[in-house]
Amino acid sequence: MSKRALITGITGQDGSYLTELLLSKGYEVFGVVRRSSTESYERIEHLRDRIQLIQADLLDQYSLIKALETAQPDEVYNLAAQSFVPTSWSQAVLTGEFTALGVTKVLEAVRAVDPKIRFYQASSSEMYGKVLEVPQREETPFYPRSPYGVAKVYGHFITVNYRESYNLFAVSGILFNHESPRRGLEFVTRKVTDGVAKIKLGLANELRMGNLDAKRDWGFAGDYVEAMWLMLQQDAPDDYVVATGETHTVQELVEVAFERAGLDWQKYVVIDPRFIRPAEVDLLIGDPAKAKAKLGWTPKTSFKELVHMMVDSDLARLEARK
Ligand code: NDP
Ligand code: GDR
């Protein structure tokens, strides 16, 4: 019999890649979508006739229990979150209610419906925040620098706590930044590749940016969802860092992207204080040694390949629209 998976956040970047992966492995896939006046199913449109969508909200305990009863999943992937760091300052309470407490609600639904369900929590390198150790490992202490990071620390530890308290198969994947042509337009990689494509095609004449000195460990989302799945296939539940082990500045990202389109970035990039954050995470670089050794997982896409893939995709999309 085929396995069944339920994904919260299925309409997001990771949700779409994870759905493709699970379908390719023969899973029956159920997705939680929240009600809104306009649907945002763009990233999963091509998969719509192969999956089942259930309306529920991470803020609503009863709706989550009903969703699990309907799907009867073997595995739950909790990817839903308010995931944009700057918004976590302007909507700090909402971010806490659902990026943090929402995790407890999903875990409580698992306990109520079937404690044998395997649970994946989308934890984040933003939990490390202030640099206390490099590269960052599973044991590196957390010092989050945004309400989003603080909420993710709660989500991480409530997952660990439910595993230890109730013996649930609950794991936390500490994923470093991962990107793709499906990344939201407000995140820095996609903002840059979309901006480059617009400038190249004469649709814009500048790109307004924040802190170019921040360093991130960027990988490809398509590679990272494989690690999520592997974590739930192990004999015992555990937490893993998923990263490339390489770090680059935002400026390097800008340079590689503009170069791909044959443009000189210095002519177009303008620093705009509106994009500087109240508190910054200066340096992220993950150590994926445990994921490599225990899960047999390695990233397949290099930083340059990733940026080129995203620039090419944005150029093709905007050219087609033109
Ligand atoms: P996205 O922002 O692309 O997707 C977020 C998803 O959450 C969307 O499907 C969104 O639905 C859903 N959602 C938002 N609010 C609610 C709600 N109240 N109830 C139910 N669903 C809701 O994120 P990513 O795909 O990039 O990331 C997936 C997860 O991994 C997130 O938890 C993120 O914080 C975490 N993460 C991401 C990393 C990255 O680099 N991408 C790194 C580490 C962790 P809708 O379409 O309705 O808005
Ligand atoms: P991040 O991703 O905050 O790391 O969180 P984002 O792409 O937003 O920022 C990365 C870095 O780039 C700097 N930056 C800018 N960022 C944006 N968005 N826009 C700009 O104009 C800009 N200029 C410079 C930022 O200051 C920052 O240092 C992402 C999200 O996906 C989280 O949900 C996830 O948990 C973490 O990655 C890991």
**Digit-coded pLDDT (tens) for 305-319:** 999 999 999 999 999
Closest ligand to residue 250's CA: 2
Closest ligand to residue 183's CA: 1
In degrees rounded to 5, what are phi and psi of residue 183? -65, 145
Are 6 and 30 spatial neighbours (Cβ–Cβ below 8 Å)?
yes
Q: Provide the token pair at 3.
A: 């396995």
Lowest mean pLDDT among 27-41, 107-121, 127-141, 228-242: 27-41
Cα-only R_g, the chain: 19
Q: Which pLDDT does position 40 carry in this prediction?
A: 85
Q: Which pLDDT does position 38 carry in this prediction?
A: 87
Element (H, E) at 107: helix 101-113
Question: Ligand 2: distance of its center to the CA of 247 in Å?
Answer: 14
Q: Which pLDDT does position 39 carry in this prediction?
A: 85
Burial class (CB in 10 A: 0-12, 13-18, 19+), 297: buried
**Digit-coded pLDDT (tens) for 147-192:** 999 999 999 999 999 999 999 999 999 999 999 999 999 999 999 9
Q: Give, for ligand 1, the residue of 33, 83, 97 to mutate: max count of ligand atoms closer than 8 Å to Cβ.
A: 83
| Amino acid symbol at 228 | M
User: Is the Cβ atom of 59 under 6 angstroms away from ligand 1?
Assistant: yes
Check pLDDT > 90 for residue 1: no
Q: Provide the token pair at 71.
A: 């799907």
User: Is the Cβ atom of 73 under 6 angstroms away from ligand 1?
Assistant: no
Q: Which pLDDT does position 278 carry in this prediction?
A: 97
Q: Give, for ligand 1, the residue of 14, 99, 180 to mutate: max count of ligand atoms closer than 8 Å to Cβ.
A: 14
* Residues above pLDDT 70, as percent of the chain: 100
Please compute the mean of the pLDDT values over residues 200-205 and round it to a whole number.
Answer: 98
Q: Provide the token pair at 82.
A: 């308010």
What is the set of domains in the chain, with CATH numbers?
4-178+218-242 (3.40.50.720), 185-217+247-280+301-321 (3.90.25.10)
* Residues above pLDDT 90, as percent of the chain: 97
**Digit-coded pLDDT (tens) for 208-251:** 999 999 999 999 999 999 999 999 999 999 999 999 999 999 99
Question: Ligand 2: distance of its center to the CA of 293 in Å?
Answer: 29
**Digit-coded pLDDT (tens) for 8-57:** 999 999 999 999 999 999 999 999 999 988 888 999 999 999 999 999 99
Supply the pTM of this predicted model: 0.98
Mean pLDDT of the chain: 97
DSSP string, 214-278: -EE--EEHHHHHHHHHHHTTSSS---EEE--S--EEHHHHHHHHHHHTT--GGGTEEE-GGGS-S
Q: Which of 191, 201, 216 is nearest to 275 (CA)?
A: 191
| Amino acid symbol at 167 | N
Check pLDDT > 90 for residue 322: no
> What percent helix, strand, coil does the chain show, rounded to 5?
45, 15, 40
Residue 69: active-site member: no
Query: Which ipTM score applies to this complex?
Result: 0.98
Residue with CA closest to ligand 2 atom 21: 209
User: Is the Cβ atom of 123 under 6 angstroms away from ligand 2?
Assistant: no
Closest ligand to residue 270's CA: 2
Cβ–Cβ contacts within 10 Å for residue 318, how many?
15
* Cα distances (Å, whole numbers) of residue 292 to 71, 176, 228, 230: 32, 15, 13, 11
Are 191 and 254 spatial neighbours (Cβ–Cβ below 8 Å)?
no
